Amino acid sequence: MPELADSATPVPHDEVRRYFEDAGPNPAPWTRDIAALRRETRDEAMAVRGHLESVAMVETLSIAGTLSRLYRPATPRLRGGPGGSQRDGSDRDVLVWLHGGGWMHGDLDCYDGVARAFANRAGCPVIAVDYRLAPEHPFPAGFDDVWATVEWSAANFGRVAVAGDSSGGNLAAAVAIKARDRNVDLAAQVLVYPVVESRTDTEFKRWFRARYGRFANQPDFGPATADRINYIWETYVPDPAARDCPYASPARADTLRGVAPAMIITAEHDILRGEGQDYARRLLADGVPVALCGYPGQIHGFFQMRGVMSAALDAMNLAADYLKREFGR
């Protein structure tokens, strides 16, 4: 956590500055119809997702009534041997990818570029889950969809890993806890600036609201971001008592001992950075191997912005290399 007395002005990466200069106003989500919000955020995501990598196959699946996409890599991982041409069994490994969007928006098309890149760079199949969204389907609907997909993947593949960004990172961390509880072996969890703490009055969040009053020429950036976090928790888990459930708020778990090894990626100028760092410390204290990587100058959402943020490409390669190592153990 930064020193709260630090008075220096937060400095965005040049690409972040240009992104905000090109972006239009970002009204509060509660001021818009949910269908309009989803259309707008989808258009924004499609505009910055960048080049779509070619993969060997994309197949639509229905798992326990939830639509998903299965991506198979253009080139599977190979192992040593004559010519290095023997498959290493990585077609039996699978990554379950969970998109972000505050549990309210985001879809398979928004993250098509991310899923394709993960498949090719980790060299394994990827299942992207189109889980149910709030407010129509509050907790635990989306979580149940994801858990059903993990169970199906464990039964139909070999080793399973989970990954997600933001609210998708929350779902990945939550199913990692349930997998531990149900004795389902996971190879790894990759949490990209995850939402893991339902408390909205933490010291870091109060600091962020005050420190980021204006950022990259965005008026009220800190207060608006804090209000948005409050709103998405109220929408995803309307019952405040239910927010203490570790499957809703992974940081509420009594212990994290026994969950899958984790990589956590954070962004410097992100209200979720504090809880991501705290979660890494909790994992380490409970004996779980953790790789923590922070991106200076970056903002929440950069991981899917492969068309405008060079850090997105670096973070993807980092996460894919991590998965290859964990699948190989």
Residue 90 pLDDT: 58
Quick check: is 18 in a domain?
A: yes
Given pLDDT bands bounded at 50, 70 and 90, which one contains residue 81? Answer: very low
CATH number of the domain bearing residue 309: 3.40.50.1820
Quick check: is 8 in a domain?
A: no
Q: What is the pLDDT of residues 197-248, one digit of tens each?
A: 999 999 999 999 999 988 988 889 999 999 999 999 999 999 999 999 999 9
Instruction: State which residues form the domain around 233.
Output: 14-327
- Asked if the model's pLDDT at residue 6 lies above 70, the reply is no
- The percent of residues above 90 in pLDDT, for the chain, comes to 86
Given pLDDT bands bounded at 50, 70 and 90, which one contains residue 22? Answer: confident
Quick check: is 5 in a domain?
A: no
Q: What is the pLDDT of residues 135-181, one digit of tens each?
A: 999 999 999 999 999 999 999 999 999 999 999 999 999 999 999 99
Write the single-letter amino acid at 225. Answer: T
Name the 3-class secondary structure at 7: coil
Q: Which of 90, 153, 166, 167 is catalytic?
A: 166
Quick check: is 6 in a domain?
A: no
Given pLDDT bands bounded at 50, 70 and 90, which one contains residue 76? Answer: confident
Residue 83 pLDDT: 43
At 76, list the tokens. Answer: 């599977």
Q: How many domains does the chain have?
A: 1
Catalytic annotation on 93?
A: no
Catalytic annotation on 300?
A: yes
Cα separation, 223 vs 198, in Å, equals: 17
| Burial per residue of 290-321, b for 16 or more beta-carbon CB atoms within 10 angstroms, e otherwise | bbbebbebbbbbbbbbbebbebbeebbebbbe
Given pLDDT bands bounded at 50, 70 and 90, which one contains residue 23? Answer: confident
Residue 85 pLDDT: 45
Catalytic annotation on 137?
A: no
Quick check: is 43 in a domain?
A: yes
Residue 209 pLDDT: 95
Quick check: is 309 in a domain?
A: yes
Write the single-letter amino acid at 158. Answer: G
Residue 284 pLDDT: 98
- Asked if the model's pLDDT at residue 80 lies above 50, the reply is no
Quick check: is 9 in a domain?
A: no
Residue tagged 């800190």 (tokens): 222
The candidate with the shortest Cα–Cα distance to 142, out of 100, 176, 200, 197, is 100
- Asked if the model's pLDDT at residue 111 lies above 50, the reply is yes
Q: Which of 13, 99, 269, 300 is catalytic?
A: 300
CB 74 within 8 Å of CB 58: no
